[in-house]
Amino acid sequence: MNPRQAACGNLEETVRPVGIDAPTAAAAPIAVSIPGLSAAVTILAIAQAGEGEIGHLSVGVPVGMNEILVDALMHLGRRYPGIRIELQYMTTGLQIEALREGRIHVGFLNLPVQEPGLILETVRSEPLCVAIPKGHAFARYQKVAISELKGQRVIIFPRRVAPGLHDAIIGMCRNAGFNLNAVHETDNVFAALTLVGAELGIAFCTPSIRRLWPDILCRPLRNSVPVEQAVAYKRDVQSPVLRVFLQLVRQVVGQRGAISQTS
């Protein structure tokens, strides 16, 4: 038995209708429901792939920690080891372009996003924080008032990285009566934390960075905008493999909190 046959055999064990043996199920494109899916997918559709795999999934994600993605991919790999994963680290702006052009199947975007052709399902919401060096004056605070950011040397990401979030942060500061003193720009959180560690400024972040960079302190901003992330996919393109992955994402999110959908 070659790898493709073995992989498809494993899949048949999961989705084979009661009363139909494996050879019959494998030979006919019978629509059957995978447990937990809202739509029926066929064995034939999932098996349409090259030798040694039963499908392909291309995922875009920003640089940083994403436990939801890790858990969903772990479950996908355990249940369907024949599915080939292509993981691409991309900014929200680049993911929108890649989804629009069909270069990735699904992305994890930082909200807000205005893109009519995409379906967005919110999977995570975290408070907006500032990353600071240990010796910074903000270290003594439990929370930092937005007004305290006035005059601070700030490391920020360019608008093209996450346009909606960038505008929300700029607008939040302007509503507090000041413009950010942006002295450096980076296109990912690791680069920003590198500059913070070098004491070149402070940067916006979420609490999850504490596990990435323990030598940097993280302080929540009081009454700030939240940082929300959504799983995004094209409205008119949903392959069987993508449907399986989305259901796994929803199951993982269901263990952590509610999921909401916008179209």
Provide DSSP, 48-68. Answer: -S-TT-SEEEEEEE-SS--HH
224: number of Cβ within 10 Å: 22
Question: Omega of the bond prior to 127 within 30 degrees of 0, cis?
Answer: no
Cα(191)–Cα(158) distance, rounded to whole angstroms?
A: 13
Query: What's the mean pLDDT in 143-168?
Result: 95
Among 238, 227, 232, 236, residue whose Cα is nearest residue 262: 232
The residue assigned the tokens 């858990």 is 71
Q: What is the pTM of this model?
A: 0.75
CATH code assigned to 129-224: 3.40.190.290
Is the CATH number of domain 3-124+229-262 3.10.105.10?
A: no
Cα(171)–Cα(180) distance, rounded to whole angstroms?
A: 10
Cβ-in-10-Å burial (0-12, 13-18, 19+) of 11 comes to buried
Cα(186)–Cα(124) distance, rounded to whole angstroms?
A: 23
pLDDT in tens, 223-253: 998 999 999 999 887 789 999 999 999 999 9
Tokens standing for residue 8: 């498809």
pLDDT, position 262: 52
Query: Which residues of the chain does CATH 3.40.190.10 include?
Result: 3-124+229-262
pLDDT in tens, 73-96: 999 999 999 999 999 999 999 999
Alpha carbon 51 to chain centroid distance? 29
pLDDT, position 259: 52
Query: What's the mean pLDDT in 46-71?
Result: 75
Cα(229)–Cα(187) distance, rounded to whole angstroms?
A: 17
pLDDT, position 257: 66
Among 193, 125, 118, 178, residue whose Cα is nearest residue 147: 178
Better-predicted residue by pLDDT, 116 or 21? 116
Query: Positive or negative, the Cα torsion across 93, 98, 101, 106?
Result: negative
Residue 187 sits at the vertex; the CA angle it makes with 181 and 189, to the nearest 5 degrees, is 85
Cα(106)–Cα(250) distance, rounded to whole angstroms?
A: 14
Across 140-171, b (16+ Cβ under 10 Å) vs e yields ebeebebebbeebebbbbeeebbbbbbebbee
Better-predicted residue by pLDDT, 55 or 157? 157
